[in-house]
Amino acid sequence: MELLVARVIPAEFQAILKASIAETASLVRVTGVLPTPQGPRVQWELSGPPDPADTKLTEAELRDVAEAASRYLAVRWRDSAEPWPVPPQHWDILSKLHPRIYDVSIETGPGWHWLLVMTAEWMSEGGLPSNFKTAQVKEKFGGLRFYHDGTRRTLRIARAAEQLSFGVCEICGTPGRLRKGGWTRTLCDEHDPKQR
């Protein structure tokens, strides 16, 4: 596990950030990986604020995406020496684990299962607002879209998950990147038909 913590998890963190926020990812520096009850959490820091000429992300949005990446990997590697595979019937599992959040059909690839688990867990911290209602969860143009009525906090979390989805393979959940041509999708090299 130490080798995975020392090399694989930080490498996945950086790969996902690079694919989801491009060169702005270079501002996020990994400082370590800590075991937590939620899973191995990547510790990180910013080396400076993002340059508005390079990105549309504010510093707060960049922090949210980095936090989402840390939480995503913790969920994906929770209680395991290797990342969890996508469970069969993952949509059913999501609706059973988080019925207040996933009470609508989920129209995404199975690889975003752990991303959706992370999003629900983060939104649920401290309780959901009474007016919380999910309207739709789907893939569009290769990225996650999470439409809901909630609070400024839950909207920030949804936006961070949406941005992060551009670095997570829709099929298996490993680091991926946006692939264009025909249907735009976010895929890893293994699941990109052009790489075979």
N-term to C-term CA, the chain = 31
Helix runs in the chain, H state only: 2-3, 9-21, 59-77, 90-97, 113-124, 152-164
pLDDT tens digits, 137-148: 999 999 999 999
How far is Cα 67 from Cα 81, in angstroms, rounded to an integer? 22
Give residue 62's pLDDT. Answer: 96
Helix, strand, coil shares of the chain, percent, nearest 5, are 45, 20, 35
Long-range Cβ contacts of 90-97 (<8 Å, 24+ apart)? 94/120
Identify the segments of the chain with pLDDT beneath 50: none
What residues have CB less than 8 Å from 76, skipping those under 6 apart? 39, 83, 84, 114, 173
What global pTM score does this model have? 0.94
Strand-pairing partners, residue 177, are: 187
What residues have CB less than 8 Å from 55, skipping those under 6 apart? 21, 22, 23, 24, 62
Distances in Å between the alpha carbon of 77 and those of 64, 123, 172? 20, 20, 13
Report which DSSP code applies to 82: S
Give residue 123's pLDDT. Answer: 97
Q: Which residue has the tokens 């990147």?
A: 177
Using alpha carbons only, give the angle 25, 29, 35 rounded to the nearest 5 degrees. 115
What residues have CB less than 8 Å from 196, skipping those under 6 apart? none
pLDDT tens digits, 151-188: 999 999 999 999 999 999 999 999 999 998 778 999 99
Could you tell me the two tokens for 120? 């629900």
Angle at which helices 113-124 and 152-164 cross, to 10°: 160
Give residue 4's pLDDT. Answer: 57
